[in-house]
């Protein structure tokens, strides 16, 4: 069946978006649409230019007989800043203030539109870091890990504080919860990470950094490698921070429970 260019462009865009970071050969597109490779090649030139001009991402071209294209979702930093500024405003709403100076953000982490953008933003910083897996800790980190994993097209693994029979054998580490100074335990199913895998740690909120540090310990136990650390929000912490190298999208600079104000600014993501 012969397919017209307009139809090919629509279906190709759909297919590439559903298969990020995946090599798609000219041959497979050529067969799929019953079109000559030269026509497919022209189509992809148009797709590549549009993806670039519209800030959708990079269409990498791999030449040669086994060649093809690979779509890498990537958001321009100016777009990211606009989105983060809107998120700062949303997170500063005074009705988010909880007893103890905590900030409610479960609604934001349950909104597809926000997760899509957050996932794309974080993935845009790590697209060329050869990430093999995203790691997070249950429960609140899961949505962000999934959103990032979608864009990098790698699996995500969930570290738990409580073991479940449905996880099979696990590896556990003890860590110091930075904020409370308590010793806690976290564990991960033994089959979930391969030795040498490059792991991106993702979490919703970082205070002292104890949880992130625990995950780093787990990565070591698995003889895997740390590819980076990214959090949705961090809060300015009085004590020493145990994590040095990370990116945050938002920074909760101060919480005033008396005046019921929360001050939020863009995080280290935008540091030069």
Binding site for a copy of itself (CB under 8 A): 5-7, 9-11, 13-14, 17-19, 46-47, 49-51, 53-54, 56, 98-100, 102-107, 110-113, 115-116, 138-140, 142-143, 146-147, 149-150, 153-158, 160, 165-168, 189, 191-192, 205
Count other C-beta atoms under 10 Å from residue 69's C-beta.
Answer: 22
Nearest to 123 by CA among 73, 81, 87: 73
Write down the least CB distance from residue 246 to a copy of itself, Å.
20
Asked if the bond preceding 139 is cis, omega within 30° of 0, the reply is yes
- Name the minimum Å distance from CB 18 to a copy of itself: 7
Helix (H) or strand (E) holding 44: helix 37-53
Instruction: State which residue, 64 or 99, has the beta carbon closest to a copy of itself.
Output: 99
Of 110 and 196, the one with the shorter C-beta distance to a copy of itself is 110
How far does Cα 238 stand from its chain's mean position?
27
Residue among 144, 167, 160 at smallest CA distance from 230 = 144
CA atoms within 13 A on the CB side of 70: 14
To the nearest whole angstrom, how small is the minimum distance from the Cβ of residue 215 to a copy of itself?
A: 15
**Residue 91 near residue 252, CB atoms below 8 Å:** yes
CB of 20 to a copy of itself, least distance (A): 9
**234: Cβ contacts below 8 Å, ≥ 6 apart:** 205, 206, 207, 246, 248, 250, 251, 252, 267, 268
The least CB distance from residue 65 to a copy of itself, in Å, is: 26
Shortest Å, Cβ 258 to a copy of itself: 19
Q: How far is CA 157 from the centre of its chain?
A: 12
Beta-carbon count within 10 A of 245 CB? 8
Smaller CB separation from a copy of itself, 65 or 165: 165
Instruction: Name the residue nearer to a copy of itself (CB basis): 99 or 240.
Output: 99
Q: Which is nearer to a copy of itself, 26 or 120 (CB)?
A: 120
> Would you say 48 or 268 has its CB closer to a copy of itself?
48
Report, in Å, the least distance between residue 189 CB and a copy of itself.
Answer: 6
Q: Is 64 or 100 the residue whose CB approaches a copy of itself more closely?
A: 100
232 close to 103: Cβ distance less than 8 angstroms: no
């Amino acid at each position: 069946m012969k397919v017209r260019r307009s139809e090919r462009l629509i279906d190709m865009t759909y297919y590439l978006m559903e298969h990020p970071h995946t090599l798609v050969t000219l041959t497979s597109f050529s067969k799929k649409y019953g079109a000559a490779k030269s026509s497919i090649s022209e189509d992809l030139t148009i797709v590549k230019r549009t993806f670039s001009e519209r800030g959708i991402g990079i269409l990498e071209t791999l030449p040669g007989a086994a060649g093809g294209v690979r779509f890498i979702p990537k958001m321009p930093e100016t777009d990211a800043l606009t989105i983060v500024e809107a998120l700062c405003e949303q997170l500063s709403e005074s009705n988010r203030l909880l007893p103890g100076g905590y900030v409610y953000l479960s609604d934001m982490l349950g909104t597809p539109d926000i997760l899509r953008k957050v996932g794309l933003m974080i993935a845009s910083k790590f697209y060329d870091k050869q990430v093999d897996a995203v790691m997070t800790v249950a429960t609140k980190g899961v949505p962000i890990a999934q959103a990032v994993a979608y864009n990098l097209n790698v699996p995500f693994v969930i570290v738990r504080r409580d073991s479940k029979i449905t996880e099979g054998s696990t590896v556990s580490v003890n860590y110091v919860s930075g904020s409370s100074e308590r010793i806690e335990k976290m564990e991960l199913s033994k089959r979930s990470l391969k030795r040498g895998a490059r792991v991106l740690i993702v979490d919703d909120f970082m205070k002292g950094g104890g949880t992130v540090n625990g995950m780093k310990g787990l990565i070591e136990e698995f003889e895997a490698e740390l590819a980076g650390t990214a959090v949705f929000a961090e809060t300015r912490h009085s004590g020493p921070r145990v994590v040095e190298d990370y990116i945050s999208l938002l920074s909760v600079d101060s919480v005033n429970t008396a005046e019921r104000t929360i001050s939020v600014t863009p995080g280290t993501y935008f540091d030069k």
